Chains A and B, each alone.
Chain A
Amino acid sequence: GQQVQQSPASLVLQEGENAELQCNFSTSLNSMQWFYQRPGGSLVSLFYNPSGTKHSGRLTSTTVIKERRSSLHISSSQTTDSGTYLCALERGNNRIFFGDGTQLVVKP
């Protein structure tokens, strides 16, 4: 079954609005990583966050292991934030599972 579930599947925002993306996992984990996939396909690592909260500019990631969830918060969204956001779960055998992603569209 699906080990990593992301929500929402898609999200449309007006520029300046905030976004909250969720990742829930059904198994134990060693690490959680968030990626941004550009419309052209390449992936950019946003956060490596096995637990706790991390900040990077307008982005904040919070992972709560006990609740088996991780979130990505985007504040003051911009049109250049449009793309797909993926969370990835690493388990003990170095195998990394991806969620289906959240497709974000930010309109001007």
Chain B
Amino acid sequence: GPKVLQIPSHQIIDMGQMVTLNCDPVSNHLYFYWYKQILGQQMEFLVNFYNGKVMEKSKLFKDQFSVERPDGSYFTLKIQPTALEDSAVYFCASSGGHQNTLYFGAGTRLSVL
């Protein structure tokens, strides 16, 4: 079936550094999402993105977070600077449109030391 690829699968960084998480969504998909999941806890919405713009973001989407999809390439989540509480698995998802099936990547496990 359709695949969403996330790179890297694991990332370990020191607190205060910048990190960029990359997502290669399903080809021709138009809607993109980032979710955050702390181990054993709920999948939490961060942001959704359509037509080059952020549509909605949650309270978890701090000022240190930003998303973009330059020139139709990777959909990225950048955190600058990182904090200890940013340690989690970040999942990217994409869908073909409103009321379409959501496809998830395998996640990037971020560890902030």
Contacts and interface: CB of A to CB of B under 8 A. Distances in A.
Interface of A: 30-31, 33, 35, 41-43, 45, 48, 50, 86, 88, 90, 93-101
Contact of A94 (B31, B91, B101, B104): B31
A96 B99 contact: no
B56 A94 contact: yes
B89 interface: yes
B89 A41 contact: yes
Contacts, number: 54
Dominant secondary structure at the A interface: strand
- Give the size range of B's interface with the partner: 20 to 34
A101 B42 CA distance: 7
22 contacts: A33-B101, A33-B102, A35-B104, A41-B106, A43-B104, A45-B104, A48-B100, A48-B101, A86-B43, A88-B43, A88-B102, A90-B102, A93-B55, A93-B56, A94-B55, A94-B56, A95-B45, A95-B48, A96-B102, A97-B45, A98-B44, A99-B42
Contacts of A97: 45
